[in-house]
């Protein structure tokens, strides 16, 4: 049985803990938030993606087309809607979050009939991230660019995973007829073992086209690839680097830069 002295000590401890947690002035919040709305067509249930150096997270819009991200550490973020069949303006937004503050990023949604390049999100990688793209294996933003300041590097100049890629799905705008991108393949092996390649899948027609056949070049240079697209069709473009990972020292690595992906 506890003595009166023990009970008094316990009570004193509880009071002290309570004062330590809430008795003094509260600390200012260390996080902020981003919220916004989709304006126009198909605004409900749309996935909204948020990217930062810490990674990517997602939420969906409510019945009013509103979304929100809470408890975000202060810093810069990229926000974009993932909505098949529609075009967002802007396609993505760069937002700065301050501690204790709330930032806003709204998007206007329209059917897939935009102008040059409107179907591709972040095709030039000029925000310095891979926002809008799905990555597999080792991928990163590179400052060796065909135009502007950035490109995407698929694979590494050291021993890496066999298959590395970035991909994006899009709707070909009604005024478009051509997909275009640039690549620079750095391959120190042979095309039998290492290569760059790219596939364009017409999801509407269930047809996959190899728009960049397997290639291994050294030192290589920026080269353009074009392929026809059908307005209104839903496509997935996959940009690939393959390295057979030969040899323990990995002395013949392969990687590929891609840039300026547009539909016009």
pLDDT digits (tens, 9 = 90+) for 116-134: 334 788 999 998 999 889 8
On whether the pTM is more than 0.85, the answer is no
Is 134-263 in the same CATH topology as 31-111?
no
Q: How far apart are CA 126 and CA 107, in angstroms?
A: 19
Percentage of the chain lying above the pLDDT 90 cut = 38
On average, the pLDDT of the chain sits at 81
Token duo for residue 225: 């690839």
Are the C-beta atoms of 134 and 237 separated by less than 8 Å?
Answer: no
In the chain, how long is the greatest CA-to-CA distance?
87
pLDDT digits (tens, 9 = 90+) for 181-228: 999 999 988 888 889 999 999 988 989 999 999 999 988 899 999 999
Can you identify the CATH homologous superfamily of domain 31-111? Answer: Immunoglobulins (2.60.40.10)
pLDDT digits (tens, 9 = 90+) for 25-57: 556 678 999 999 988 765 677 889 888 877 789
pLDDT at 248 > cutoff 60 = no
Q: How far apart are CA 216 and CA 194, in angstroms?
A: 7
Domain 134-263: assigned CATH number: 2.60.120.260
Q: How far apart are CA 246 and CA 253, in angstroms?
A: 8
Domain ranges of the chain: 31-111, 134-263
Q: How far apart are CA 118 and CA 108, in angstroms?
A: 13
CA atoms within 13 A on the CB side of 38: 28
Any idea what the Cα angle at residue 133 is, between residues 127 and 134, rounded to 5°?
Answer: 140
């Amino acid at each position: 049985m506890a003595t009166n002295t023990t009970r008094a000590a316990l009570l004193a401890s509880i009071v002290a803990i309570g004062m330590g947690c809430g008795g003094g002035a509260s600390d200012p919040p260390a996080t902020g938030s981003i919220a916004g709305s989709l304006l126009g067509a198909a605004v409900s249930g749309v996935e909204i993606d948020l990217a930062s150096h810490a990674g990517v997270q997602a939420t969906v819009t409510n019945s009013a087309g509103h979304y929100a991200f809470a408890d975000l550490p202060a810093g810069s973020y990229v926000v974009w809607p993932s909505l098949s069949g529609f075009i967002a303006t802007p396609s993505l937004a760069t937002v700065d979050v301050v501690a204790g503050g709330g930032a806003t990023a709204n998007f206007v949604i329209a059917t897939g009939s935009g102008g040059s390049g409107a179907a591709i999100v972040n095709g030039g990688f000029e925000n310095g991230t891979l926002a809008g793209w799905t990555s597999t294996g080792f991928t990163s933003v590179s400052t060796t660019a065909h135009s502007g300041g950035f490109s995407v590097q698929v694979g590494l100049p050291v021993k890496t995973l066999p298959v590395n890629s970035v991909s994006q799905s899009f709707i070909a705008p009604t005024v478009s007829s051509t997909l275009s991108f640039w690549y620079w393949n750095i391959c120190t092996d042979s095309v039998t073992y290492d290569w760059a390649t790219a596939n364009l899948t017409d999801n509407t027609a269930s047809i996959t086209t190899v728009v960049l056949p397997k290639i291994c070049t050294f030192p290589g240079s920026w080269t353009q690839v074009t392929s026809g697209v059908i307005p209104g069709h839903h496509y997935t473009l996959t940009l690939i680097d393959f390295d057979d990972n030969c040899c323990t020292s990995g002395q013949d690595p392969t990687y590929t830069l891609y840039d300026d992906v547009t539909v016009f």
